[in-house]
Amino acid sequence: MATSWGSLFQDEQQLEELARQAVDRALAEGVLLRTKQEPSSSDVVSYAPFTLFPSLVPCALLEQAYAVQMDFNLLVDAVSQNAVFLEQTLSRARTGSLAVWGHLCSFSSALVLLIAQEKERNIFDQRAIENELLARNIHVIRRRFEDVSEKGSLDQDRRLFMDGQEVAVVYFRDGYMPSQYSLQNWEARLLLERSCAVKCPDIATQLAGTKKVQQELSRAGMLEMLLPGQSEAIARLRATFAGLYSLDMGEEGDQAIAEALTAPSRFVLKPQREGGGNNLYGEEMVQALERLKDSEERASYILMEKIEPEPFRNCLLRPGSSARVVQCISELGIFGVYVRQGKTLVMNTHAGHLLRTKAIEHADGGVAAGVAVLDNPYPV
């Protein structure tokens, strides 16, 4: 598909000039990251990597992604409320046991507690959220898990207090990887989960997003069990699924491993990890499967059919690098907002999108992993 800027890819001088202007605009608009050298300080910052031009996205696919977002909100909520399903699914993946507390409080005047990492390069989008809340007279305090362990407490009604101030909402920007949990941090997370403060996300919702849960949801009849009577939503959801396969011990897992070893280019091996840079492809995947095929450890992975998007050209801008036109692929995500109080649905809607683009030479990795860059869709 042709674009009005396609001819610019051949003009290096024009590209460099456009890149300089775009970088200045990004800095002026706050598209910022702390540096790798000083992730705990904002004394020196740089722009977040991004594409010089928007990337073409077919209107039909963009509309489909927005249309299915609210279905995914409902599905994730249904999974999070089904403790038996989560326990059975995740026990095979060695992700741990689940305990869910259901206790509602009313808040007259309370804070938002943001659980932050000590080293946080991506602090500026967090500050933007803080500023938006402050404009609505909602105050945010930033604390680490260690601070919660030392100074957090619950009263007899399970109200959460931090430094003597009541907390209404806990917003997690830490705690998504096992390496982020010491024993002290686990104890802090348990304290937060036991409280009646709203958690974003609570532990059940966080576990609902694991790879093993995604694989189980692809099984025949599973969506019907979780979303009874919602055939249209189920059809929209299934239309987005790629092939997902269990590696549990047994005939099903043996067959999946055999197929992957026979045709490794068709598959990707995924552990129960987030953040990018954890998936295994090609020869690395083959070596891992050969090592895991007779071990129960294999159940902590899933196998997925590789998605093969159509490559396109764009110019990627990164700090310290010259403008560079390369073959790219993109990944589109839609933000959702979902609020439920008890059994009453308060809000279910979409709230914008995130398009991440990377050079085709990279098999895996997101923006935080230093591989993908921020992008904007150009509907065609």
24 is in an annotated binding site: no
Domains 101-201 and 243-306 agree in fold:
no
164 is in an annotated binding site: no
275 is in an annotated binding site: yes
Distance between CA atoms of 286 and 8, rounded to whole angstroms?
Answer: 41
Helix, strand, or coil (residue 39): coil
Can you tell me which residue has the tokens 């399903």?
Answer: 85
209 is in an annotated binding site: no
Is 80 exceeded by the pLDDT of residue 2?
no
Distance between CA atoms of 56 and 3, rounded to whole angstroms?
Answer: 9
Q: What is the pLDDT of residue 6?
A: 74
222 is in an annotated binding site: no
Least confident among 189-193, 235-239, 351-355, 363-367: 363-367
In this structure, the dihedral spanned by the alpha carbons of residues 278, 281, 284 and 286, taken in order and rounded to 10 degrees, is 130
Average pLDDT over residues 148-154: 97
352 is in an annotated binding site: no
25 is in an annotated binding site: no
Concatenate the DSSP letters of all residues of 144-164 into one string.
-HHHHHHHEEE-TT--EEETT
119 is in an annotated binding site: no
Concatenate the DSSP letters of all residues of 195-255 into one string.
SSSEEET-HHHHHHTSHHHHHHHTSTTHHHHHSTT-HHHHHHHHTTPPPEEE--SSHHHHH
6 is in an annotated binding site: no
279 is in an annotated binding site: yes
Q: What is the pLDDT of residues 218-232, one digit of tens each?
A: 999 999 999 999 999
150 is in an annotated binding site: no
**Domains of the chain, residue spans:** 101-201, 243-306
199 is in an annotated binding site: no
pLDDT confidence band for 100 (50 / 70 / 90): low
CATH level 2 (architecture), domain 243-306: 2-Layer Sandwich (3.30)
* pTM listed for this prediction: 0.89
285 is in an annotated binding site: no
Distance between CA atoms of 237 and 186, rounded to whole angstroms?
Answer: 34
Distance between CA atoms of 217 and 238, rounded to whole angstroms?
Answer: 10
365 is in an annotated binding site: no
CATH of domain 101-201: 3.40.50.1760
In this structure, the dihedral spanned by the alpha carbons of residues 244, 212, 195 and 125, taken in order and rounded to 10 degrees, is -60
